[in-house]
């Protein structure tokens, strides 16, 4: 069974540009979560999508947005990039059942220069 896949693996952008990150969940999983992992820090919750709807978002500005497609894949968009947006962005999926563990992809390393 294929795990969570993310693309691209690395992304370099300049300040002010927009970045788009993509995620394909494990087959059969309907919920997708996005986390930001800045260097030396833990994982910070960004967004949660389930059945195509945004269910919750973390304490991030509105320039962080995303969507979930009918096939349950997801996109994270970051507008007006700032230097501090440089981080590893992790996507995770679950089957949507309460108290089931998140399964993570290997992330997209975003570097803003």
Q: Which residues bind another protein (CB under 8 A)?
A: 4, 31, 33, 35, 41-43, 45, 48, 50, 55-56, 58, 90, 92, 96, 98-99, 101-107
Tokens of 71: 């096939």
The residues, ordered by sequence, that sit 6+ positions from 44 with a Cβ below 8 Å of its Cβ are: 35, 36, 37, 38, 58, 59, 60
CB of 73 to another protein, least distance (A): 17
Q: Which is nearer to another protein, 13 or 26 (CB)?
A: 26
| Least distance from another protein to the Cβ atom of residue 80, Å | 25
Nearer to another protein, 16 or 76 (CB): 76
């Amino acid at each position: 069974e294929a795990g969570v896949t993310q693309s691209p693996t690395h992304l370099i952008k300049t300040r002010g540009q927009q970045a788009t990150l993509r995620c394909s969940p494990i087959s059969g999983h309907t919920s997708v979560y996005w986390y930001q992992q800045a260097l030396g820090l833990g994982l910070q919750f960004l967004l949660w999508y389930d059945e195509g709807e945004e269910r919750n978002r973390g304490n991030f500005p509105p320039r962080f947005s995303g969507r979930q497609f009918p096939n349950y894949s997801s996109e994270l968009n970051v507008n007006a990039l700032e230097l501090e947006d440089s981080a590893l962005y992790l996507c995770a999926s679950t089957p949507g059942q309460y108290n089931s563990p998140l399964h993570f992809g290997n992330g997209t390393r975003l570097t803003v220069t």
